[in-house]
């Protein structure tokens, strides 16, 4: 709902809880469904409140069956080109769901509809923490001249980043090591950057918070949409089930379930490689003022990805992303894979650079060069 009402949806919520048209809505170019998931977040629910999703296998299968049900109810949309988009932890959800759909399409089980999966897009995603977490260090040098650490501390931090990556790698095959890996990376790397009291979602802004409570740095958005979504008229309009309580930005029970399953620490980049090898197009974009899932870490995991076009992608030089005759980012693209660094944008690119985001996603949908 955050993306729907503050980023790329057809309308935004104002301070007086009225809505205004968003001229840069992605619905200008496509039919869009905003899906609240995993089960039990927001207005979503399941038959058993205690049977919540806690890993990508759950998420992928539930999204697949949601799409099946949606297409059955809307036969006019069957066979249309289908894309999955996400942001932030969507870097886990999107590859897992798309991979499950791709596998089902290949196996062609009886009694289900083929989903015409064409591509996925992920904005400032957390996809491969093994590679991305150590790349916190890269943001010590950034386009906005924000100072995070004293230059004399960089050699020590680089050593800590290397150890962080090694521990994260070990936990992929030995999940019981994940708690220690996460704790080490947070204590010795991420907390150093958080001490600068900058908004980790947009380093251009100050935000004094801890590394365990970073959601407070987008409090203004939450404060706008929470009362709007909990108004009786809207709940009735959305046909919200009576079993569902008030809409909240975060469900910490679901959060803890994913943490206990170590899902947060696992990489989903192998799904992306399989998708690329099956000619599913992939767009990874990142606002370069984001610290949490920064552009450098996103590019790094793409460059480490093993797929049929990896050598050619890694040999491709970046070129300018131009919108309205202005350079607004940089692009690396080969075959099905495209990476975009978006200038002057944080974690939520469609909010910070709405015209750029719309132009970019429309070209991607149309399979046009960026």
Q: Could you write out the DSSP letters of every residue in 34-91?
A: ----STTSTT---SSTT----SHHHHHHHHHHHHHHHHHH-GGGTTS-EEEEEETTHH
Q: How far is CA 300 from CA 21, 46, 48, 122, 314, in A?
A: 37, 37, 40, 15, 10
Which of the residues 54, 347, 352, 359 is marked catalytic?
347
Task: Respond yes or no: is residue 44 known to be catalytic.
Answer: no
Which of the residues 25, 44, 85, 88 is marked catalytic?
88
The DSSP secondary-structure symbol of 32 reads -
**Computed over its alpha carbons, how large is the radius of gyration of the chain?**
20
Handedness of CA 174, 177, 178, 184 (dihedral sign): negative
> Which residues make beta-bridge pairs with 320?
330
Task: Respond yes or no: is residue 290 known to be catalytic.
Answer: yes
SS3 110: coil
DSSP run (H or E) holding 283: strand 281-287
SS3 285: strand
Which of the residues 263, 290, 352, 359 is marked catalytic?
290
CA distance 62 to 42: 16
Catalytic machinery residues: 88, 290, 347
């Amino acid at each position: 709902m955050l993306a729907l009402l503050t980023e790329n949806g057809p309308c935004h919520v104002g301070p007086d809880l009225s809505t205004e048209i968003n001229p840069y809505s992605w619905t200008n170019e496509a039919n869009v469904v905003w899906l609240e998931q995993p089960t039990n977040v927001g207005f979503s629910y399941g038959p058993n409140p205690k049977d919540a999703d806690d890993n990508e296998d759950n998420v992928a299968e539930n999204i697949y069956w949601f799409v099946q049900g949606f297409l059955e109810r809307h036969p006019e949309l069957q066979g249309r080109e289908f894309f999955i988009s996400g942001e932030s932890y969507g870097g886990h959800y999107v590859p897992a769901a798309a991979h499950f759909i791709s596998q089902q399409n290949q196996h062609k089980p009886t009694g289900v509809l083929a989903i015409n999966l064409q591509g996925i897009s992920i904005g400032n995603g957390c996809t491969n923490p093994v590679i991305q977490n150590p790349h916190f260090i890269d943001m010590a040098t950034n386009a906005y001249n924000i100072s995070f650490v004293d230059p004399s501390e960089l050699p020590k931090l680089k050593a800590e980043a290397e150890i962080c990556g090694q521990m994260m790698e070990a936990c992929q095959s030995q999940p019981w090591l994940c708690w220690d890996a996460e704790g080490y990376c947070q204590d010795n790397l991420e907390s150093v950057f958080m001490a600068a009291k900058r908004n980790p979602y947009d380093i251009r802004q100050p935000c004094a918070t801890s590394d365990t409570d970073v959601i407070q740095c987008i409090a203004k958005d939450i404060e706008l949409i929470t009362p709007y979504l909990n108004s009786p008229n809207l709940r009735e309009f959305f046909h919200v089930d009576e079993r569902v309580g008030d809409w909240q930005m975060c469900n910490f029970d679901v959060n803890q379930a994913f943490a206990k399953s170590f899902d947060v620490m696992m990489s989903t980049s192998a799904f992306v490689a399989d998708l690329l090898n099956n000619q599913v197009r992939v767009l990874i974009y990142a606002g370069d003022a984001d610290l949490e899932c920064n552009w450098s870490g996103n590019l790094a995991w793409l460059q480490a990805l093993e797929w049929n076009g990896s050598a050619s992608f890694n040999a491709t030089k970046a070129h300018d992303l131009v919108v309205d005759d202005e350079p607004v980012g940089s692009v690396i693209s080969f075959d099905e894979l495209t990476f975009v660094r978006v200038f002057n944008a944080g974690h939520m690119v469609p909010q910070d650079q709405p015209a750029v985001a719309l132009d970019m996603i429309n070209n991607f949908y149309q399979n046009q060069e960026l």
